[in-house]
Amino acid sequence: DTGVSQNPRHKITKRGQNVTFRCDPISEHNRLYWYRQTLGQGPEFLTYFQNEAQLEKSRLLSDRFSAERPKGSFSTLEIQRTEQGDSAMYLCASSLAGFGYTFGSGTRLTVV
Amino acid sequence: KNEVEQSPQNLTAQEGEFITINCSYSVGISALHWLQQHPGGGIVSLFMLSSGKKKHGRLIATINIQEKHSSLHITASHPRDSAVYICAAKDSNYQLIWGAGTKLIIKP
């Protein structure tokens, strides 16, 4: 599989619980991005890594959100104390030096 | 005013028709992406272009840097082309600035 892989595909959680999503980018891609998409809206940028360094973080990313890319390969996005407003599709994309973005299928989070 | 604007927002056409979706942007960009998203599906990158024209199968994308305008064309449209088409401008900070998308429905 040479695409961007995201796990899990779907996650249902109770409000207040913590959740963690994983993204495995294309192996030679050095840049990795997280986006959030709510129903009927375009994706919103959350954060961006170049190799293992988190270079930019959106104001949308509150203190409850944290993302890591420990070895410059896969990345995790954790949401602590989930709220109903966190319900969305979380998309991961990777690129090589900013060219040719490839998106994963996303993780759909539902907070009940 | 959004930095990336698409038109039309919704487009319904008959199978076989020639489709044009337009994108205008007001920011300085290093590249412009056209992406496709099927209902409930992931986002697929169709084109990334910084000048001129690109063609892939029945899809054609053009960009005019001076006019800050890009178009996506679909020739001989087919019901399987039904999807949301998104224009996204890549700025110098590596972020993608997304248009609102064009929902395309091709009727058989």
Distance CA B104, CA B82 (A): 5
Measured CA distances, A107 to A21, A46, A64, B76, B96 (Å): 7, 14, 18, 34, 20
pLDDT of residue B22: 98
pLDDT at B89: 86
In angstroms, the CA B87 to CA B59 distance is: 14
CB B31 to CB A103 under 8 A?
Answer: no
Among partner residues B41, B45, B93, which is closest to A101 by beta-carbon distance?
A: B45
Contacts of A101 in chain B (CB under 8 A): 33, 45, 48, 96
The per-residue pLDDT for range B39-80, each reduced to its tens digit, is 766 778 888 888 999 999 999 999 999 999 999 999 999 999
How much is the pLDDT for A59?
Answer: 76
Mind listing the pLDDT tens digit of every residue in chain A (112 residues)?
468 999 999 999 999 999 999 999 998 888 899 999 887 777 888 998 989 988 888 877 789 999 999 988 999 999 999 999 999 999 999 987 656 678 888 999 999 9
Asked if A19 contacts A107 with a C-beta cutoff of 8 angstroms, the reply is no
